[in-house]
């Protein structure tokens, strides 16, 4: 990726340009110390003077009123705030009429910013005051007052906090009174510029110590650049939070959100005092010290999938290269390319007006359809369909271009969604809520309606990243997510009435990805790269989960690596310095998943015998139990030396009825309640009581016996025997109550038990159908 710079031969302004701002993706306003406001049309290349300000107004900062206002959509910004050196800020219309001038600070007003909703404006000045104003320019409050000038300010993603500079310090102050203020020393020189992105919640700062730095919203340092030759005068996040731009003397730099640099350009600009990204995130404008406005296009973005590499060579042209036979294809577009995604044998490209869908089998005939709103901020792909996110909503389309659904939920903000907070599979869409970050909304892909009984997924901590598995049946769909403590959890997506368990898979997990070919999960855990070959093991037999993992040392990836993709058995990881590392994992677990999904158990056993690996046998054991194939499970457990489990499985073979076998398989997986329900629905009350006795679940055993008026004496007899073994006296009131005046006759009890077993055997061998045929479990 690099920047394609365009700079006019002669500057349009006579003095330094202090600020720039985009109205649309093709129109820009610039303000200069020559008191002129100039409009630039990038389509025609024309410039026109909008207004000449009075000679005593020297503009310092400009910010356009935000575009989307809840339901009421504005196609383009209509008014902007201009701060100036005379202590005022001015609300100026698109045509250049000064609607209002407000006395705001003693000394220059150094920065002014609208919040994301456009309901408030914050200004900061040389007098060290931070003031909040209403949309019409009425003073609401003075947020803070300090002894040093405040050079820059930014709103927090939820518009409830403000970040501002104080010399070498950065301060985050919430708008609520008495809320905790966060303050830290950020640079060794005065901080000149800050920016806070609403999508990734990261902070940028630039200072006179010639460095730029990236911070998280808690003030923890994520990246610090090497010192440059000159102070860094401007920084700005791209709207989607994936890139940022840095400006200095004769210097423009494009960086990844983790800090490393994609491109460095040295245009003849003087110092770049202000950088603005266009609304679609494809180009940058810079306000230059020598009167120029520099424009830079982001080009040469690359997308890779298997043997295909796609490169954006120009604004409207892509080049496709097949590395197997070196075949080249050129793709031409009518409008400029904004976003693209290459996965699952399809390339999806959104331009400013249309969406193109190419198949990797045929690059010549794309499917084209018009977009409702131009600026697509995110494209996600699954095997059967893809998802587009723009300012208006979330839209799901098939690869044939058919519109499928558009999920909605209360308080939805599409402008802050990214690949970490939205996930897509063949049948499910998962979206993390921004208002309450502990909540994940789950939708059916085909209809856009909430999943199951309409309940959302709620976790005890804030969720950072979510990912749906890609293969298997809809009923088995799982979602993995990382929470604020960096713990990795997995849970089922289908939620009907009963509360699904959220089970912890690992700790200190920084990034995760599901394979696109089978349900294998990989993640970077502290200093290890871990692959969960069969994450569902946690639902079947948690004891053998460690045996189903593959781990290797991850220290070679340095700190803060990120998993880019997991295609087939190839994992691509981006290191903190921007370099890509490819890791191949064993292909055998994927083959095992394939055999099991098509119930080829003999082939699966043969494969494990051929590979001779503990992890394979452990995965097969868990898969076999999950699919109720106890013969294969017995072989697999024997291979990993789990003798107690082999014996238990063996004991199941002698059970008289299929209901009993089913219940014992459920018990094997730890689903005691479900096992009990299976037996009770089949009318096997004694067997339900017996499993509770075997588990020393005395309260429940007596409760069942009393409820069904049977085997109360059996329960009391076993209880008495249990207490005698340990030399204890009965203290449980319920047991004392029912034991009153009851003589225990073991002969009689044994006969009763014998009768129950015979009855069950007769039922299962008899011709009449059992009650459990319509069983739910």
With bands split at pLDDT 50, 70 and 90, how would you rate the model's confidence at 69? very low
The whole-angstrom separation of Cα 44 and Cα 37 is: 18
The whole-angstrom separation of Cα 753 and Cα 744 is: 14
6 strand-pairing partners: 295
The helix-helix angle for 712-726 and 698-707 (nearest 10°) equals 160
The whole-angstrom separation of Cα 423 and Cα 379 is: 11
- According to the model, what pLDDT value does residue 777 have? 37
DSSP codes, 219-273: S-EEEEPPP-SS---EEEE-TTSSEEEEEEBTEEEEEETTS-EEEEE--S-SBEE
pLDDT at 610 over 80: yes
DSSP codes, 17-33: EEEEEEEETTEEEEEET
The two tokens of residue 37 are 């406001």
- According to the model, what pLDDT value does residue 424 have? 94
Which class for 683: exposed (0-12), middle (13-18), buried (19 or more C-beta within 10 A)? middle
User: Which range, 447-456, 502-511, 678-687, has the best average confidence (pLDDT)?
Assistant: 502-511
pLDDT at 539 over 90: no
pLDDT at 70 over 70: no
Q: Which of 672, 777, 755 is nearest to 710 (CA)?
A: 755
- According to the model, what pLDDT value does residue 709 have? 83
- According to the model, what pLDDT value does residue 68 have? 58
Give 482-506 pLDDT, tens digit per residue: 999 999 999 988 865 566 788 999 9
Give 197-251 pLDDT, tens digit per residue: 998 899 999 999 999 999 999 999 999 999 999 999 999 999 989 999 999 999 9
Percent of the chain with pLDDT over 70: 96
The whole-angstrom separation of Cα 293 and Cα 287 is: 5
- The 3 state secondary structure assigned to 304-318 is EECCEEEEEEECCEE
Query: Dihedral angle at the C-alpha atoms of 73, 78, 84, 88, nearest 10 degrees?
Result: -80
Give 247-272 pLDDT, tens digit per residue: 999 999 999 999 999 999 999 999 99
Give 561-578 pLDDT, tens digit per residue: 999 999 999 999 998 888
Query: Are 605 and 620 in contact, with CB atoms under 8 Å apart?
Result: yes
Q: With residue 659 as reference, give the H or E element that holds it.
A: helix 658-668
The whole-angstrom separation of Cα 752 and Cα 141 is: 82
Sign of CA dihedral 331, 334, 340, 343: negative
Residue predicted with more confidence, 280 or 155: 155
Which class for 636: exposed (0-12), middle (13-18), buried (19 or more C-beta within 10 A)? buried
The two tokens of residue 740 are 């009153």
- According to the model, what pLDDT value does residue 497 have? 54
The whole-angstrom separation of Cα 566 and Cα 516 is: 7
Query: Are 147 and 104 in contact, with CB atoms under 8 Å apart?
Result: no
Backbone dihedral angles phi then psi of residue 502, each to the nearest 5 degrees: -105, 115
Average pLDDT in the 618-642 region? 91
Sign of CA dihedral 556, 561, 562, 564: negative
User: Model pTM?
Assistant: 0.87
- Return all residues near 193 (Cβ < 8 A) that are at least 6 apart: 151, 152, 204, 205, 206, 232, 233, 234, 235
The whole-angstrom separation of Cα 141 and Cα 162 is: 13
The whole-angstrom separation of Cα 66 and Cα 356 is: 29
- Return all residues near 137 (Cβ < 8 A) that are at least 6 apart: 89, 91, 100, 102, 121
pLDDT at 368 over 80: yes
């Amino acid at each position: 990726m690099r920047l394609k710079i365009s700079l006019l031969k002669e500057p349009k302004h006579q003095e330094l340009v202090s600020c720039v701002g985009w109205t649309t993706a093709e129109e820009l306003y610039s303000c200069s110390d020559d008191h002129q406001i100039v409009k630039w049309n990038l389509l025609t290349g024309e410039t026109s003077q909008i207004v000449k300000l009075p000679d005593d107004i020297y503009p310092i900062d400009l910010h356009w009123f935000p575009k989307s206002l809840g339901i009421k959509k504005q196609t383009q910004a209509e008014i902007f705030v201009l701060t100036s050196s005379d202590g005022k800020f001015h609300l100026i219309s698109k045509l250049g009429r000064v609607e209002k001038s407000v006395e705001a600070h003693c000394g220059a007003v150094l920065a002014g910013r609208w919040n994301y909703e456009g309901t408030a404006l914050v200004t900061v000045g040389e007098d060290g005051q931070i003031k909040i104003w209403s949309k019409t320019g009425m003073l609401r409050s003075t947020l803070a007052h300090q002894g040093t000038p405040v050079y820059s300010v930014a709103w927090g993603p939820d518009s409830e906090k403000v970040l501002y500079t104080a010399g070498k310090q950065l301060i985050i102050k919430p708008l609520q009174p008495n809320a905790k203020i966060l303050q830290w020393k950020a640079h060794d020189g005065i901080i000149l510029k800050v920016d806070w992105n609403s999508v990734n919640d990261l902070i940028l700062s630039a200072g006179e110590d010639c460095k730029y730095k990236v911070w998280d919203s808690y003030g923890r340092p994520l990246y610090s650049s090497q010192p440059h030759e000159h102070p860094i005068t401007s920084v700005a996040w791209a709207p989607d939070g994936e890139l940022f731009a840095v400006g200095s003397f004769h210097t423009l730099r494009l960086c990844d959100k983790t800090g490393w640099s994609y491109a460095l350009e040295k245009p003849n600009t003087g110092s770049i005092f202000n950088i603005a990204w266009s609304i679609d995130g494809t180009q940058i404008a810079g306000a230059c010290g020598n009167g120029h406005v520099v424009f830079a296009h982001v080009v040469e973005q690359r997308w890779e999938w298997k043997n295909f590499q796609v490169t954006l060579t120009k604004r409207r042209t892509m080049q496709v290269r097949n590395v197997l036979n070196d075949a080249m294809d050129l793709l031409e577009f009518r409008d400029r390319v904004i976003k693209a995604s290459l996965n699952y044998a399809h390339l999806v490209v959104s331009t400013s007006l249309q969406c193109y869908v190419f198949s990797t089998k045929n690059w010549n005939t794309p499917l084209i359809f018009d977009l409702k709103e131009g600026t697509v901020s995110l494209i996600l792909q699954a095997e059967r369909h893809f998802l587009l996110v723009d300012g208006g909503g979330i839209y799901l389309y098939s690869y044939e271009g058919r519109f499928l659904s558009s999920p909605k939920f209360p308080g939805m903000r599409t402008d802050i969604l990214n690949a970490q907070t939205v996930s897509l599979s063949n049948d499910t869409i998962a979206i993390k809520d921004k208002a309450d970050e502990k909540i994940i909304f789950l939708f059916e892909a085909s209809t856009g309606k909430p999943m199951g009984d309409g309940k959302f997924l709620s976790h005890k901590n804030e969720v950072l990243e979510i990912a749906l598995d890609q293969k298997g049946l809809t009923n088995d769909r799982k979602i993995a997510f990382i929470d604020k403590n960096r713990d990795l959890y997995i849970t089922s997506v289908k939620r009907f009435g009963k509360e699904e368990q959220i089970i912890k898979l690992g700790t200190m997990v920084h990034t995760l990805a599901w394979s696109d070919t089978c349900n294998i999960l990989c993640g970077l855990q502290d200093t290890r790269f871990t692959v969960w070959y069969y994450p569902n093991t946690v639902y079947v037999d948690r004891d053998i989960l460690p045996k189903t993992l593959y781990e290797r040392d991850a220290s070679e990836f340095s700190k803060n690596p990120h998993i880019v993709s997991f295609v087939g058995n190839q994992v691509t990881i981006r290191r903190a310095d921007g370099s890509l590392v490819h890791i191949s994992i064993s292909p055998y677990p994927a083959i095992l998943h394939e055999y099991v999904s098509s119930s080829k158990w003999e082939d699966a056993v043969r494969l494990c015998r051929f590979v001779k690996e503990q992890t394979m046998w452990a995965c097969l054991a868990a898969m076999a139990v999950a699919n109720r194939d106890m013969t294969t499970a017995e072989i697999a457990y024997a291979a990993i030396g789990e003798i107690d489990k082999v014996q238990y499985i063996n004991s199941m073979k002698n059970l008289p009825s299929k209901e009993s076998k089913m219940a014992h398989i459920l018990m094997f997986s730890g689903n005691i309640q479900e096992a009990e329900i299976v037996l009770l629905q089949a009318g096997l009350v004694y067997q339900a009581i017996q499993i509770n006795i075997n588990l020393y679940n005395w309260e429940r055993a007596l409760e069942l016996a009393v409820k069904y008026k049977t085997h109360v004496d059996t329960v009391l007899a076993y209880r008495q025997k249990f207490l005698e073994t340990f030399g204890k006296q009965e203290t449980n009131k319920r047991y004392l109550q029912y034991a009153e005046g009851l003589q225990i006759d073991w002969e009689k009890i044994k006969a009763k038990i014998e009768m129950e077993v015979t009855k069950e055997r007769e039922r299962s061998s008899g011709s009449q159908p059992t009650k459990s045929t319509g069983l739910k479990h």
